[in-house]
Structure 1
Amino acid sequence: LKRRGFTKAEIEAKVDGVLARFGAQTLADRRAHELSGGELQIAALCSVLATGPSILILDEPTNQLDLKNRALVEKIITGLPESAIVITHDLDLIAGFERVLLFHEGRLAADAPAADAITRYREIVL
């Protein structure tokens, strides 16, 4: 944000706003090595969202998270007003998505609502 010309006060306001948006204010004063996997994911999401993107690209955002933190990351993703491209094998995460692109062997195998794409995925891999 500093490179984009924002003042220190503007940066603090943006960061505080994003942390408050996700109830993550307690993460602000902790070092990255002190955070759990789920807290790191939330901190990473907050850091990206502080820049004000209109589209987010998330690669396996629930990978290696425990159930509690997975649910929290899912809640954040599904509640985003920003558009999100989610790359994942977590079928439960995408179950409510309106559009899912399924790729298999380098080709588009489905472009459909989540339920249809998940069914197609299961047909391919099982």
Structure 2
Amino acid sequence: MNLMAALGRGLGLRPDADLTRVSIVRGSLTNPQVAVVNAREIMKGAATNIRLEPGDIVFVPGEGQLSPSYFAREALNTFVRIVAANEGGNAVSSESPNVGVNVDIGASAKP
């Protein structure tokens, strides 16, 4: 799946979604990688669509509310909570189902 397909599969973008600063978190808990991309440029055909990998977290901020470093930190915090929940479940039972994430596309966050 690519970034545009993932954004399209959501329940719709909020009116204040800032598509110029979409964060994608990828990698392990010990070595996460965060990329901030401009999805508007992808929509215009001026940039290449990003292929997502299983486990990637996509975070779309509300427009003009927070800094890019805050978005990256929030996306990383979400990643850490998911990994921690999965590891906790695996410690209790090897048959424990993994926890996923339901991202509110364009959600406003408080600094």
TM range (shorter): under 0.3
Structure of higher RCO (CA pairs closer than 8 Å, 6+ residues apart):
2
TM-score, normalization by structure 2: 0.25
Flag the structure with higher helix content: 1
Using the size of structure 1 for normalisation, the TM-score is 0.23
Structure with the greater alpha carbon radius of gyration = 1
